[in-house]
Chain A
Amino acid sequence: MLFDHFQLRRNPFATRYVASARLAPRDSRGRVLDLPAIVDRLGAIGGSGAIEGPHGTGKSTLLFHLSEVIAAESRPVVRIRMRSQGDALGVLLAMRQAPRGGLACIDSWELLGTVGRSMVRCMARGLGIGLMVTSHGPTDLPTLVSCRGSRALLESLVGQLPGHAEWFGTTIIPADLDAAIVEAGEDLRKAFDMLYDRFERSRAGAPR
């Protein structure tokens, strides 16, 4: 049946399955993060903090899930995703939508530049809203969480992907994860990319 055909040809490493919203955030040992505890820590460090870590270590994923937890507590949340320095003005305009006591979640804090970051911090102080941002290294905001990629984390994330029991051990084997982590280092986004290709090649019957 065609539906079975589609089931077989679904690649679990496709973007729609590994994108930020889909996977539960975990620490470098693969353990599920205690999101409410992190939210409490955000309050303890003054209401603003940074999720820092190298490329592909789950910063955006964690930012999204934390913002969901905070929004569920009925606290207003504004989510801002930056793609270039030109988005700086958009960030300032978006922050104005957050009422006092709200939280602005900004992905890619460094793109704002020194001047932009100062302006955003000033505006946040003036408006009485908190900031939760992602960055690739230590910033001018206190560090809320440090994200690191690892083999254990990759394995636990792979375990969350759809149909894991059907293809893990056959189409994708543990040695593929080893090879991906060696090649990609801490960048799990890159590791997923490689596993995507590995999955397609395995399915096509290509030799390892």
Chain B
Amino acid sequence: MRFPRFFTKKRGHRRTDSHAWGSFAEGLFYALLVGAGVVFGLLLVTGAVSYAPADPDSVVLQRGYEWWMWLLTLLIPVALLAFGGSGLVRVVRTWGKSQEHRAAASRTVILEGLAGPSPVAGHPGVPSCDNLENSPGIVLRYRLPIESPENWTLVGFGLFALLWNAVVVVLAVGVGADLIGGTTDWLLIGLLVPFVAVGVGGVVLFVRATVLSTSVGPTHVEISDHPLVPGMSYDVRLGQGGAHLFRSIDLGLELEETATFRQGTDTRTQRLVVRRVPVSRWQRVQPVPGGSFEARVAVTIPADAMHSFSSENNAVQWRIVVRALPDRWPEFTRAFPVVVLPVKAVVTTSPSEAVEALE
């Protein structure tokens, strides 16, 4: 009997084990957050209330707690409830539905079959394609992963804001209790000021990132085949979500070099885009309400393109890059790595013939 694994290592950003068990674990996680929020909130509330000794049936709030104290104190449980609740709702809504099912619900038709076997290895120095080919597209063969998913940035901002402000709340409660008790701990107050500043900054960053992410929507790129070969053309399908107008959307290919140097405690990594191949540009794009802007174009890999290369400290990488300029929002760039193979090898003379030619 094979036990379900809740924490299977994801290949890239995709699940590698049972979708059902994964969703269950995800739901359990959010349920725990909701539970923690409820428990924490109850503890705080019950700690702040008592009953009147003369009338045990009456519950009164403890004196000395102002409204802003309540706000601060309940911030953590409310945050836990909100985060956990929204996650639970999402899990329930997508429970049991495959990616194709969800796509069909949004009236997108599956045209291509699923991915075939990966190409045979035999290209030293060329990075593996596994992480780029383990997600079938809705229309085209493969859906490419994004290079640095903004969701993780969002989660990072959120966690930081949550944890930091939890510390702020604890400090604030301490300061408040001292003030109420008639003592003034200037050291604690001095410590609180920068903490509050950072906490507010964290919340602002999180809110800004959330608004940006929800306003501009996700970007999806699918491709008809992979890995890519110089001189060949491929169908690429772009999907850009969002509720607002985009002044422009550019799709192109880029070749980026990456070099890392370490000496002692110094680690320096430099990236440089050395080649740009524009593919297509759209102007004044308005995504379909509740849907997304979609376009399908042909992308040709230059015949003289350098193949993808990766070693311990150096890399040469091709990416499909989407640059979008939303109306009234800053421009953003989303990159989707691809692997380009070297041109086909040519086997000419045998070694003995070549040695004779030399002599």
The answer to whether A and B touch directly, with their CB atoms under 8 angstroms apart, is yes
Residues of A whose CB lies within 8 Å of any CB of B are 15, 20, 55-56, 59-60, 81-83, 107-108, 110-111, 134, 136, 189, 193
**Separation in Å of the A146 CB from the closest CB of chain B?**
16
**Separation in Å of the B53 CB from the closest CB of chain A?**
56
**In the complex, chain B residues whose CB is within 8 Å of the CB of A134:** 264
**In the complex, chain A residues whose CB is within 8 Å of the CB of B263:** 20, 56, 60, 189
Residues of B whose CB lies within 8 Å of any CB of A are 261-268
Q: Are A108 and B265 in contact (CB under 8 A)?
A: yes
**In the complex, chain B residues whose CB is within 8 Å of the CB of A107:** 264
Instruction: Show 5 residue pairs from A and B whose CB-CB distance is below 8 angstroms, ordered by the A residue.
Output: A20-B263, A55-B266, A60-B263, A82-B264, A189-B266
Choice from B261, B264, B266, B267 contacting A15 with Cβ under 8 Å: B261
**In the complex, chain A residues whose CB is within 8 Å of the CB of B268:** 193
Q: Are B264 and A59 in contact (CB under 8 A)?
A: yes
**In the complex, chain B residues whose CB is within 8 Å of the CB of A136:** 265
The CA-CA distance from A179 to B262 in the complex, in Å, is 24
Beyond the given pairs A59-B264, A189-B266, 13 more chain A to chain B contacts, judged by CB atoms under 8 angstroms and listed by A's residue number, are A15-B261, A20-B263, A56-B263, A56-B266, A60-B263, A81-B264, A82-B264, A83-B262, A83-B267, A108-B264, A134-B264, A136-B265, A193-B268
**Separation in Å of the A22 CB from the closest CB of chain B?**
13
**Separation in Å of the B272 CB from the closest CB of chain A?**
9
**Separation in Å of the A43 CB from the closest CB of chain B?**
25
**In the complex, chain B residues whose CB is within 8 Å of the CB of A59:** 264
The CA-CA distance from A84 to B268 in the complex, in Å, is 14
**In the complex, chain A residues whose CB is within 8 Å of the CB of B262:** 83
Choice from B261, B264, B267 contacting A60 with Cβ under 8 Å: B264
Q: Name which residue of chain B comes closest to A190, CB basis.
A: B268
The CA-CA distance from A193 to B265 in the complex, in Å, is 17
The CA-CA distance from A60 to B263 in the complex, in Å, is 8
Residue of B261, B264, B267 contacting most chain A CB atoms (<10 Å): B264
**Separation in Å of the B117 CB from the closest CB of chain A?**
38
Residue of B261, B262, B263, B267 contacting most chain A CB atoms (<10 Å): B263
**In the complex, chain B residues whose CB is within 8 Å of the CB of A189:** 263, 266
The CA-CA distance from A111 to B265 in the complex, in Å, is 8
The CA-CA distance from A189 to B270 in the complex, in Å, is 14
**In the complex, chain B residues whose CB is within 8 Å of the CB of A108:** 264-265
The CA-CA distance from A167 to B266 in the complex, in Å, is 29
